[in-house]
Structures are given as C-alpha cells and as structure tokens.
Structure 1
Amino acid sequence: MKSTSPARGYALALFSRVAAAILGGYALTAASVIFLGALIPLPKSQAVLAASLASFAVYTAALVWAFVAERLRTLWLSLLLPAAVLAGLGLLLGGAGV
C-alpha cells in the first residue's frame, strides 16, 4: 500500500481549504443574509438589501478564516455549523412558507 507523499498531502489540504473558503464561505454568507434579512427591522426589501451589503464582510472574513484556521476539521465545522444555525433561525424568524 502506498502512502501519500508530503507534497500530495499538502495539495489535498490546500484544495480542502480553497473548497472551504468558496463553498463554506458561500453557505455562511447565504445563511447570514437569510438571518439578517429576517432580523433587521426595515421593510423586507430594504432589510434584504442591508443584509446583502453586510454579507460582503461575512464572506471576506470566511475567506480569511479558511487560511488562518490550524485544523481542517475545525475550519469546516466553524463554517458549516453557524451556517446551519443562522439559516434555521432566519427561516423561523422570517416565517418561511408564509
């Protein structure tokens, strides 16, 4: 059985970080827009616009965090768990399906 070379392991770790930055950052950003859009006390269209503007800061922070986190598991969990919680709370607060 072959073991992976250090260069290949590094490449896979880098690929995982890039994927976390793009996919996990997008998930967290979309969830934050859902949550903030439901939370901001403005008319719905203005609340969504304000949340969308704030999402640029969220995505930038997620991109930076993807390359600062020491462990890949911590990175993925710190992006996806808050995304799930924020999306759930946003849908509950916003009255999804109403």
Structure 2
Amino acid sequence: MTTFKEFWPFYLQEHSNPLNRRLHFVGTFFVHVVLLYALFTQQWMMLWLLPVIGYGFAWVGHFIVEKNRPATFKHPLWSLRGDFKMFYAMCAGKLWK
C-alpha cells in the first residue's frame, strides 16, 4: 500500500466486526471530549489521556473482539486517519453494521 486510498479498504476489513467499530467510536468520541475540555479549561495535563483513551478502546476491540492486531502497528498515521474517517462516517450514520 502506498496511499491512504489503498489503505482504507484494508482498514475497514480489519474493523469488520460492528462491536469493534463501536468501541473505536466510543474511544474517538471521548478523545474529542477530553481534547475540547483541555482546550477550553487550559488543563494541558489532560492531553496525556488522549492516546490512553483512544488506543484503550481500540485495542480492546482488536485483541478481544476482532482478534487481530491493530493496523496502528504497521501504519500508525494512516490508522489514525482511518479512525477519524470511520468516526465521522459513523456520525453521518454509516458503517454501524
């Protein structure tokens, strides 16, 4: 894979279980909440929670639900982009099944 466009179908395949997608959604939702809270309150120490929350929910989804390795291990930036693309697609009512 040399482009995100090529990576995206692989990403979706690695997130084929709806419960895994939902766990990613919850984690990414709380990443947004904590980020906004830190920005508005200027409590910058809260920012250390972002990877803990984001990866925590995602890794439960992969290791326990999907039983595969997170794409983050081989493609960290594309995987992060994929997480947000999937989150916003789910906000639009897509990818829930």
TM-score range for the pair, normalised by the shorter chain length: 0.3 to 0.5
Higher helix share: 1
- Between structure 1 and structure 2, the one with the greater Rg is 1
The two structures have a TM-score, normalised by structure 2, of 0.33
The two structures have a TM-score, normalised by structure 1, of 0.33
